């Protein structure tokens, strides 16, 4: 058993792809035409994922007022997504320079380094890296 997909509700497919692929460095695993289950309206089946992984994000464009209301607040304001990286400092610098909005600066925690950023929709993510080597 493994977790294959997690949905992230977004306002716009292309802007979300630009963020996750162009800024975060994820790969575009799928971008296929589809239709909504309620009403058969056109949509896209868009999956992005970090390179070398099998678990992905299904970028789901909000369909109706109820879904639009959760864009950027899928986890009630809590950090809901966790991106682990091998080189925290380089990734933090790269994302900062690319305009990613960090809402909590890097701090050292017992498990490693962490900073909180917002995705294209406004959801909170932890950027997490290994603990710094003692000096």
Residue with tokens 């400092």, as numbered in its chain: 89
Q: What is the pLDDT of residue 60?
A: 95
Phi/psi at 130 (5° precision):
-65, 160
Phi/psi at 73 (5° precision):
-140, 40
- pLDDT tens readout for residues 37-85: 777 788 899 999 999 999 999 999 998 899 999 999 999 999 999 999 9
Q: Residue 107: which CATH number? A: 3.30.720.110
Q: Residue 73 falls within a domain, yes or no?
A: no
Domain that holds residue 98: 79-129
Domain boundary, last residue among 22, 40, 68: 68
Domain count, the chain: 2
- pLDDT tier at 132, thresholds 50, 70, 90: confident
Residue 133 has pLDDT above 80, yes or no: no
Q: What is the pLDDT of residue 135?
A: 58
Q: Residue 134 falls within a domain, yes or no?
A: no
What are the C-alpha distances in Å from 14 to residues 20, 60, 74, 103? 10, 11, 20, 24
pTM of the model: 0.91
Domain boundary, last residue among 40, 68, 96: 68
What is the rounded CA–CA span in Å between residue 115 and residue 129?
Answer: 9
Residue 11 · residue 2 · CB < 8 Å = no
pLDDT > 90 in the chain, percent: 86
Q: Residue 107 falls within a domain, yes or no?
A: yes
Are 64 and 100 found together in one domain? no
Are 63 and 84 found together in one domain? no
- pLDDT tens readout for residues 1-17: 999 999 999 999 999 99
- pLDDT tens readout for residues 21-43: 999 999 999 999 988 777 778 88
Q: Residue 74 falls within a domain, yes or no?
A: no
């Amino acid at each position: 058993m493994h977790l294959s997909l997690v949905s992230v509700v977004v306002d716009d497919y292309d802007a979300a792809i630009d963020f996750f692929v162009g800024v975060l460095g994820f790969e575009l695993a799928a971008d296929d035409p589809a239709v909504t289950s309620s009403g058969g309206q056109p949509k896209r089946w868009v999956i992005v994922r970090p390179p070398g992984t099998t678990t992905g994000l299904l970028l789901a464009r909000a369909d109706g007022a109820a879904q639009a209301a959760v864009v950027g607040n899928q986890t009630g304001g809590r950090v809901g997504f966790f991106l682990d990286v091998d080189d925290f400092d380089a990734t933090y610098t790269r994302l900062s320079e690319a305009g990613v909005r960090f809402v909590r600066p890097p701090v050292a925690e017992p498990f490693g380094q962490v900073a909180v950023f917002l995705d294209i929709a406004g959801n909170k993510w932890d950027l997490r890296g290994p603990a710094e080597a003692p000096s």
